């Protein structure tokens, strides 16, 4: 997983054919287990880049992508958001999407 530290890096990351970004904060107790499970899940999809962005580091991300709660997982396809899950993640829904775009 690559950590995004500027909004310019976000723009580059989401312009690829497919990318997943998990938005989180430093003090979030739910973020760590969700991130660990996402990392484990993405081992089955090595061709899909996975990024993390801390809202404290890149506050523009919160505003531009309407992140109101963390963790938020956003799947992008060529710069467009195609899927979003926040706080309580529906892993089956996410896996189904990943299988379709694999």
Q: What does the pLDDT look like over 50-67, one tens digit per residue?
A: 999 999 999 999 999 999
- Cα 100 from Cα 102, distance rounded (Å): 6
pLDDT, tens digit, 9 for 90 and up, residues 66-83: 999 999 999 999 999 999
Domain at 19, CATH number? 3.40.30.10
pLDDT at residue 71 in the model: 97
Q: Which domain holds residue 56?
A: 2-101
The domain tally of the chain equals 1
Q: Could you tell me how many residues make up the chain?
A: 102
**What is the pLDDT of the chain when averaged over all its residues?**
94
In percent, the amount of the chain with pLDDT more than 70 equals 100
pLDDT above 90 for 102: no
pLDDT at residue 45 in the model: 95
Containing 8, the helix (H) or strand (E) segment is helix 7-14
In this structure, are residues 2 and 52 in contact, taking their beta carbons and an 8 Å threshold? yes
Whether omega before 88 lies within 30 degrees of 0, making that bond cis, reads no
């Amino acid at each position: 997983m690559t950590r995004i530290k500027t909004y310019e890096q976000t723009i580059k990351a989401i312009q690829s054919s497919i990318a997943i970004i998990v938005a989180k904060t430093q003090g979030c107790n739910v973020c760590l287990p969700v991130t660990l499970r996402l990392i484990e899940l993405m081992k089955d999809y090595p061709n899909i880049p996975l990024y993390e962005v801390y809202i404290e580091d890149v506050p523009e991300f919160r505003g531009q992508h309407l992140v109101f709660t963390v963790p938020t997982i956003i799947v992008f396809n060529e710069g467009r958001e195609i899927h979003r899950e926040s706080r309580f993640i529906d892993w089956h829904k996410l896996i189904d999407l990943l299988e379709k775009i694999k």
